[in-house]
Structure 1
Amino acid sequence: MRLLLCCLLLALCAPSLAEPWQVVGDKQFAPYSYVAPDDDAPLGLDVELVDAVLQAAGVDYHLRLYPWLRVKAMLERGEATMAFQFAGTPERRAQYRLVGPLRTGTTVFMTTSKTALEDWRQLSDLAPYRIGQVEGYAYETAFDRAELRRDAIAQTPRQLVAMLLAGRFDVIVGDRTQLLYFARELNAEQRVRVLPQPLVEMPRYVAFGQEDQQRADLFADALERLRSTGELEAIHRRWEH
């Protein structure tokens, strides 16, 4: 009877596990994930990393990019199998089953010549300034909990940089590579400066539902295989040039 019950459970589970994975990521997170202007095709470093790992895992999948708040909602509602790219904070670990890191990024503060701040040593040094951040993003636990004059009205990192240039904020926080990417895109690289001390070296993870151990393990195994063979590093190098 016990054997029969196990067989029935496996039979019920098999079709859902065989279905294509619905993989989603942030469509406005260049150069890590963004969409082509002509056909909405997913592009970016993280997109290539995720594609490589999923192909190595041998799974069938559909990968699409959406606004970040929708990405999180789709994963929470079970509409997505896997999502990327999540900061490795305790809060995110409590929400999702994180796998990785897929890569590591440097989170920094950016300002302009209009602000006298040259650097910071403790978070209280930032208290006099208006700090801009993207709505729904997690940065670093101590910073996220600090009593600071923060404003999360920006919907995307690109908008965040534009609002800094427009004088809406004194300081913004985000991934160093990304903030500089958008500053260059806006022809404003000479108008901004990154504070020397980073906030954190932040690992970025893919996320599954908390109960989705089997898929998480499958992705983790393929990720480690590609890391050990150097294939992930080769993708990184292509995006450095």
Structure 2
Amino acid sequence: MTRLLSALLLTCVTVLAALRPANTAAETWVMGAMEDFAPFNYMDNGTFTGIDVQIMDEAAALIGVTLDHRPVPWKRMLLDFEGGKFDGVFQLTPTTARFEKWHLTGPLRTTRSVYVTRADSPLQDIRSPAELDGLVVGLVAGFTYEESFDSNPAIRREMSQDDFNNIRKLLLGRSDVIVGGHATLAYTARQLNAWDKLRVLPTPLVELGRYAAFPRTAEGAEKARRLQQALDEMHASGRIQEIMRSALNR
């Protein structure tokens, strides 16, 4: 009986393999991403990893796609994307202009952008950008934070190339307060052994999703539709929340 069942199982597998379409080789999408944005995407012993990388890889696997990640500096990533070098990019803050320009898919996750100051600062809270008057605000060049904040000409900006330098400038007194994603700033500050020297203000600037983008073409629209379906499934099952908890609670 056991041999009979084994033979039947082998036959079924063989039949299914024969019925599988010949073009089942996984598609590959070339995806641009910021090269150093821990804990969401970063290099670890030569492997590109992180929360968003894992979310994107698992979503792609659900639709039979393999992602060829191309981690590069943020500004270059956007330029290369517009130049047609990537099939898509992630993780973008949503803006009206980006929704009009590209097919945005998501959110992958939600980010709470916060104000952070030195632990000994007299600042207690910032409830609106109007309260930034007279303060130097540290930001990362090329990043989008929130549309009204980004377009406010009255904000005195101290620009940095990344969150590491943004935090260093804050500690050196070159800025009074910095803005960034809570998880990213906390991770970076701990890498610098500086988290106990900083304080997160109670009121966040904004809480927004982070998106993947594809060109506004028929092919881009189809990729966006398929990825959206996979992301919706992962949100509904709780998988994305599980990935976030597992990574941030280490």
TM-score, normalised with respect to structure 2: 0.84
Q: Report the Cα offset of residue 19 of structure 1.
A: 6.0
Question: Do the aligned residues in 2 keep the contact of 1:33 with 1:43 (CA within 8 Å)?
Answer: yes
CA apart distance, 1:180: 1.2
Please state if 1:214 is matched with 2:214: no
CA change 1:95–1:160 in 2 (3 A) is farther
- Residue 118 in structure 1 maps to residue 118 in structure 2: no
Inter-partner Cα distance in structure 1 for 2:167 and 2:157: 15
Distance 1:237 1:195 in 2: 22
Alignment of 1:1-241 (within 5 A): 20-36=28-44, 38-39=45-46, 41-113=47-119, 115-146=121-152, 147-152=154-159, 154-211=160-217, 212-241=220-249
Q: Does the residue aligned with 1:54 lie in a helix, a strand or coil?
A: helix
Corresponding pairs, count: 222
Query: 2 CA distance for matches of 1:52 and 1:60?
Result: 9
Q: Within 2, Cα distance between the matches of 1:117 and 1:195? A: 8
**C-alpha contact (below 8 Å) 1:105/1:203 kept by paired residues:** yes
Cα pair 1:54 1:219 within 8 Å, conserved: yes
Unaligned runs of 5+ in 1: 1-17
Cα RMSD, aligned residues only: 1.7
Which stretch of structure 1 is more off in the superposition, 123-132 or 231-240? 231-240
Residue segments in structure 2 that go unaligned for 5+ positions in a row: 1-25
Which residue identity does 1:78 align to in structure 2? G
In structure 1, the residue corresponding to 2:243 is in which secondary structure? helix
* Identity between Structure 1 and Structure 2 (%): 36
Structure 1 segments, 4+ long, off by >3 Å, are none
Deviation at 1:98, TM superposition (A): 0.8
Letter in 2 for 1:29: F
Q: Is the 1:133–1:151 Cα contact (8 Å) retained in structure 2?
A: yes
